[in-house]
Structure 1
Amino acid sequence: MQRSLDKLDPSCNTNNMTLRILIVDDDPHIRDVVRIAAEAAGYETIEASNGQTAVTHIGREAIDLVVLDIGMPQMDGFDCCKQIRATSNVPVLFLTAQDDEVDRVLGFQLGADDFVSKPFSPRELVLRIKAILARGKPEQNMALRHGTLEMDRAGHSCKIEGCELALTATEFAVLSSLMRHPNQVHDRNQLIAQVYGANSTLSGRTMDSHVRNIRHKAAELGCEDIIVTVHGVGIKLGACSR
């Protein structure tokens, strides 16, 4: 199979520890910029020129993160993300042509991990990629339990009464922050700083989207009180009953 554009020869990866980035954009120049920056940072890359090809790669290849353009013809980034989330929790970083909060909120509701606006600095893009992947790394001392909720940070897994709670890397980081301090009320800006870093400019609506996703996924497993709102103050871990 060809190494460029939409195909990859898996035998080209001589380092099993190399993380693999899928770059999805209909603009070959943007793909080149992202590829050069990612490979210079030590990542392996695969490219796709449209959303459908990207979804096919997710089903066939081991992908560690997707850099996904929103404004593509045929299948835009949002529809592509929906299809990816139907089968995978691989981290997704959206590229957007405008700094539109509506797009960001929708993207986070679909399970995105972060956004970078075009035109972007390749250095910033790589830093965002590293930050997302760091959220998915195993942590030291690792098992947390609260009610029916169990979190194994070393194995990066979460369960409610033995049933797997499938979370994105960012959702896992949010819930981990709440689990570490189960009796503390967190305001949204506090959580954004813990998950995205102290210099993040993301709005509180971003955190609302992640919390909504966690609640929805937990409710599907019968847990309606995984995160509770303390009105006028913030949110905290709930009783996690089932």
Structure 2
Amino acid sequence: MAKILVVDDDADMRNLVYTALTRDGHQVDREENSTQLSPACCRQYDLLLLDVMMPGEDGFSLCRRIRREVDCPILFLTAKTEETALVQGFGLGADDYIKKPFSLAELRARVNAHLRREMRQPIHTLHRGGVCFDLQAKTASVKDQPLSFTKGEYAICEYLALHAGQVFTKELLYEAVFGFDAEGNASAIAEHIKNIRAKLKIRDLNPIETVWGVGYKWQKENLI
């Protein structure tokens, strides 16, 4: 059983979520106003469900305010489907979106999937395309020889490798790695990728593929 908080100004939506998730044995608390929620309060929960569109402090603002101190999964309940909204949410640290209207089956499946993921044993190393990532130390190596990545270069490589085979635009990659509020712009990604490729080329590796007109991906065929 997990402890879940749903924050939504719509009473019917709060009650719907409550009914669906309590059927799975979860303890569900309901809140209509996020302004009184502190990071310490949110840390009590195993998962947060936040409505995006709320009067006063919306779900994006709440996520921004608490994310550095709250590491449980945060899922947005939203009617917004535009890419810009998705970019903003993921840049703030969201783990997933559930688009309104949604079925109770989808809600329960998404929530339980994230809870199961949190219960797994943490993975400390990741091998992708000949590169070994130490996810705790935030370092990368090839055949036990360290790669001289900057902090930003490492973060880009780790994110792409963790999502191998998926294509990310420069904008999505920038927001995911550096955050929505980071200074700079997405054009810096191209320069970072250029530097990363130069360092990997020395080791005869080229796992990052450019998908012309779209963005970048870590080649799926390099999964090892």
2:204 match: none
Distance verdict in 2 for CA 1:24–1:177, change over 3 Å: same
Match for residue 29 of structure 2 among 46, 66, 75: 46
8 Å CA contact retained: 2:88, 2:175: no
Moved over 4 A (4+): 145-149, 174-177
1:188 offset after TM fit, Å? 1.4
User: 2: distance between equivalents of 1:175 and 1:28?
Assistant: 40
User: What's the counterpart of residue 216 of structure 1?
Assistant: 178
Please list every run of 5 or more consecutive structure 2 residues that lacks an aligned counterpart in the other structure.
140-150, 180-191, 198-207, 220-224
Does residue 18 of structure 2 align to residue 35 of structure 1? yes
CA, structure 1 residues 159+63, in 2 after alignment: closer, same or farther (shift >3 Å)?
A: farther
Query: Quick one: which of 203, 219, 231 aligns to 2:210?
Result: 231
Q: Which has the higher contact order (CA 8 A, sep 6+)?
A: 2
Give the partner amino acid of 1:216: F
User: What is the CA–CA distance in structure 2 between the aligned matches of 1:85 and 1:72, rounded to whole Å?
Assistant: 18
Q: Does structure 1 conserve the Cα–Cα contact (< 8 Å) formed by 2:34 and 2:62?
A: yes
The answer to whether structure 1 residue 63 and structure 2 residue 45 are counterparts is yes
CA distance in 2, matches of 1:148, 1:36: 44
Partner of 1:159: 137
Structure 1 unaligned residues grouped into runs of 5+: 1-17, 152-157, 166-170, 180-184, 190-203, 218-223, 238-242
Instruction: Say whether the 8 Å CA contact 1:111–1:213 is kept in structure 2.
Output: no
Residue matched to 2:182: none
Do structure 1's residue 188 and structure 2's residue 166 form an aligned pair? yes
| 8 A contact 1:24–1:47 mirrored in 2 | yes
Cα offsets for 1:157-185 (capped at 9, x unmatched): x3326xxx9xxxxx9xx958836xxxxx9
Aligned match of 2:116 in 130, 134, 143?
134
Contact 1:148–1:160, Cα closer than 8 Å, also in 2: no
Larger radius of gyration: 2
- Contact kept, 8 Å, 2:20 with 2:104, in 1: the verdict is yes
- Deviation, structure 1 residue 109: 1.3
Normalised to the residue count of structure 1, the TM-score between the two structures is 0.59
Report how many residues are paired.
175
- Distance in 2, matches of 1:214 and 1:41, equals 32
Change (3 A) 1:149 1:188: closer
- Compute the TM-score of the two structures, normalised by the length of structure 2: 0.63
